[in-house]
């Protein structure tokens, strides 16, 4: 009996040591709430199938994003969603395929993790980084995923399946964006790989709304913005008007921007805008009324277009002429150089209403033979046409003075610095 008690005591000691070792390897549990979404492909993935983890951002608040990803009309999902407070929800079992990357191959072989945040805001928190890093360290250990940036990537690094050399999936996503701190995040992932935290999957857990992140500092815009009936100038900001809910609900993947019926730009990435923060260069059209159209494309042959009228009111093109000043005395063959504050298509010179010279190539130069003209006052007019049809005119009054003696016409005139002032 005494011997058997000794064996039992030894066995209990071994089990206690084993339990202590396990608790040391896997520290305090990380709670993960199990929710469900129909937006998935049921599968039986294994460690041989799963090789990567893709990091996303939600472009919306935590609870609202979960509801959106649970909506059957969204046509999108993720395996996990992490809040700014560090709460985690699982929507798709890891063994199933979530629709998250915009690339069927990557969906099949990766785990998608959404993070509450925005590409254009400094919204990611330390609690969010740590909760996600604990989860990723566990997933990498569980499924044999290497802890490097070749296997843990952003959505913006997923290849576009339709265009070789493009990234961000089929829709060209840019999340998690420049404010996601990859260096700090990967440090935390490796730390928790050495100091592991075991997720505890639960069916009940109170979800909390995260505090509203600080809005990005935006100075009062001096640039014009495209809107119905707006007066626009310069490079005007032009947004498609498609919000995040519409983008998810209709699965918008492309938006065309048209001016007067001609497509000038196509954007594949939400929030779909004309050259992002650059805007539409309104100097490419003449001043006046124009019709601007946005045409969006979604799944299941969804198409929608919206047109709005605007009025372009750019300041007139500015011309500069060298070779003769206003009121200057000229003689012989007069050569004029013409410059403008925007690209030109051609320039023309008229003398007293008659065309005398024209040039259509850089550097723009015009000439006038004054020896065939009468002595005295004449009016030169320089006409310029811009690359996009804008026009400008510059009037240059001159005095033809070819005679060897002092021109009688100047007898009653005063000269100052080459300028001519008529006393009469």
Is pLDDT at 175 greater than 80 in this prediction?
yes
Q: What is the reported pLDDT for 257?
A: 96
Q: Measured in whole angstroms, how far is the alpha carbon of residue 200 from the centre of its chain?
A: 39
Comparing 217 with 355, the larger pLDDT belongs to 355
Predicted TM-score of the model (pTM): 0.52
How confident is the model over 24-36, as a mean pLDDT?
Answer: 79
What residues make up the domain containing 396? Answer: 319-422
Joined together, the tokens standing for residue 298 give 């979604």
- Give domain status of residue 215, yes or no: no
Joined together, the tokens standing for residue 402 give 């070819």
- Give domain status of residue 214, yes or no: no
Q: What is the reported pLDDT for 24?
A: 44
Tell me the pLDDT tens digit for each residue of 323-334: 888 888 888 999
* Share of residues in the chain with pLDDT > 90 (%): 58
Which region, left, alpha or beta, applies to residue 418 given φ > 0 means left and ψ of -120 to 50 means alpha? Answer: left
For residue 213, give the DSSP letter: P
Joined together, the tokens standing for residue 291 give 């019709």
Does one domain contain both 64 and 193? yes
Q: Which residue has the tokens 């809040």?
A: 83
Rounded CA-CA distance 187/153 in Å is 14
Tell me the pLDDT tens digit for each residue of 54-97: 999 999 999 999 999 999 988 899 999 999 999 999 999 999 99
Q: What is the reported pLDDT for 217?
A: 58
Strands 88-90 and 354-359: unpaired
- Among residues 89, 85, 82, the alpha carbon closest in space to that of 209 is found at 85
Does one domain contain both 248 and 382? no
Cross-strand bridge partners of residue 385: 346, 391
- Give domain status of residue 401, yes or no: yes
Q: In which band, very low, low, confident or very high, does the pLDDT at 26 lie, cut at 50, 70 and 90? A: low
Contact 375, 400 (CB under 8 A): yes
Number of domains the chain contains: 3
Cross-strand bridge partners of residue 275: none
- Give domain status of residue 365, yes or no: yes
Is pLDDT at 341 greater than 60 in this prediction?
yes
Q: What are phi and psi of 173, to 5 degrees?
A: -65, 155
Ranking 53-62, 127-136, 397-406 by mean pLDDT, the lowest is: 397-406
How confident is the model over 285-310, as a mean pLDDT?
Answer: 92
Highest mean pLDDT, choosing among 42-46, 71-75, 223-227, 267-271: 42-46
Joined together, the tokens standing for residue 232 give 């626009």
Does one domain contain both 289 and 269? yes
Q: Computed from CA positions of residues 209, 214, 216, 220, in that sequence, does the dihedral angle turn out positive or negative?
A: positive
- Give domain status of residue 11, yes or no: no
Q: Is 65 buried (19+), middle (13-18) or exposed (0-12) by CB count in 10 A?
A: buried
Here the CATH number for the domain that contains residue 288 is 2.60.40.10
Is pLDDT at 222 greater than 80 in this prediction?
no
Does one domain contain both 292 and 400? no
- Give domain status of residue 3, yes or no: no
Is pLDDT at 255 greater than 60 in this prediction?
yes
Does one domain contain both 262 and 302? yes
Q: What is the reported pLDDT for 21?
A: 40
Of 259, 279, 312, which one is at a domain's C-terminal end? 312
Distances (CA, A) of 210 to 63, 83, 118: 9, 7, 14
- Among residues 78, 194, 175, the alpha carbon closest in space to that of 133 is found at 194
- Give domain status of residue 281, yes or no: yes
Angle 48-152-130 from CA coordinates, rounded to 5°:
115
Does one domain contain both 197 and 333? no
Of 312, 345, 370, which one is at a domain's C-terminal end? 312
Here the CATH number for the domain that contains residue 190 is 3.40.80.10
Q: What is the reported pLDDT for 15?
A: 33
Q: Is 121 buried (19+), middle (13-18) or exposed (0-12) by CB count in 10 A?
A: middle
Does one domain contain both 44 and 164? yes
For residue 120, give the DSSP letter: T
Q: What is the reported pLDDT for 345?
A: 87
- Give domain status of residue 190, yes or no: yes
Does one domain contain both 32 and 174? yes
Contacts of 336 (CB under 8 A, 6+ apart): 321, 322, 323, 324, 349, 365, 366, 367, 368, 380, 382
How confident is the model over 311-335, as a mean pLDDT?
Answer: 87
Comparing 3 with 271, the larger pLDDT belongs to 271
Does one domain contain both 269 and 403? no
Does one domain contain both 306 and 368? no
Is pLDDT at 335 greater than 70 in this prediction?
yes
Return the SS3 of 138.
helix
Of 312, 337, 359, which one is at a domain's C-terminal end? 312
Does one domain contain both 239 and 266? yes
Contacts for 415-419 with beta carbons within 8 Å, 24 or more apart?
Answer: 418/325, 418/328, 419/325, 419/326, 419/327, 419/328
Q: Measured in whole angstroms, how far is the alpha carbon of residue 179 from the centre of its chain?
A: 14
Does one domain contain both 385 and 280? no
Q: What is the reported pLDDT for 289?
A: 94
How confident is the model over 136-150, as a mean pLDDT?
Answer: 96
């Amino acid at each position: 009996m005494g011997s058997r008690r000794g064996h039992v005591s030894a066995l209990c000691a071994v089990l206690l040591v084993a339990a202590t070792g396990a608790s040391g390897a896997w520290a305090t549990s990380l709670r993960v709430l199990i929710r469900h979404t129909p937006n998935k492909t049921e599968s039986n993935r294994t460690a041989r199938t799963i090789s990567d983890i893709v990091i996303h951002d939600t472009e919306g608040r935590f609870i609202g994003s979960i509801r959106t990803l649970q909506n059957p009309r969204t046509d999108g999902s993720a395996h996990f969603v992490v809040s700014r407070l560090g709460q985690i929800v699982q929507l798709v079992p890891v063994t199933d395929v979530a629709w998250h990357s915009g690339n069927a191959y990557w969906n099949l072989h990766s785990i998608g993790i959404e993070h509450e945040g925005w590409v254009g805001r400094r919204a990611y928190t330390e609690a969010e980084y740590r909760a996600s890093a604990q989860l990723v360290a566990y997933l990498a250990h569980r499924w044999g995923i290497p802890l490097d940036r070749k296997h843990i990537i952003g959505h913006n690094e997923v290849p576009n399946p339709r265009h070789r050399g493009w990234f961000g999936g089929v829709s060209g996503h840019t999340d998690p964006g420049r404010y996601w701190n990859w260096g700090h995040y990967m440090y935390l992932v490796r730390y928790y790989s050495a100091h592991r935290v075991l997720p505890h999957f639960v069916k009940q857990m109170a979800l909390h709304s995260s505090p509203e992140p600080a809005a990005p500092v935006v100075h009062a815009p001096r640039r014009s913005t495209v809107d119905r009936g707006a007066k626009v100038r310069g490079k005007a900001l032009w947004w498609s008007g498609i919000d995040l809910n519409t983008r998810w609900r209709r699965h918008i993947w492309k938006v065309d921007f048209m001016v007067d019926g001609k497509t000038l730009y196509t954007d594949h990435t939400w929030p779909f805008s004309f050259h992002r923060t650059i805007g539409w260069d309104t100097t490419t059209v003449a001043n006046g009324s124009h019709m601007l159209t946005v045409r969006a494309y979604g799944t299941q042959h969804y198409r929608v277009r919206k047109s709005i009228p605007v009025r372009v009111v750019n300041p007139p093109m500015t011309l500069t002429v060298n070779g003769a000043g206003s009121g200057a005395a000229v003689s012989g063959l007069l050569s004029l150089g013409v410059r403008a504050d925007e690209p030109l298509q051609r320039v023309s010179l008229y003398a007293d209403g008659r065309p005398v010279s024209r040039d259509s190539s850089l550097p723009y130069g015009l000439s006038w033979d004054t020896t065939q003209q009468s002595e005295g006052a004449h009016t030169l007019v320089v006409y310029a046409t811009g690359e996009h049809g804008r026009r400008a005119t510059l009037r240059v009054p001159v005095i033809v003075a070819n005679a060897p003696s002092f021109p009688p016409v100047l007898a009653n005139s005063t000269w100052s610095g080459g300028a001519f002032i008529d006393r009469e």
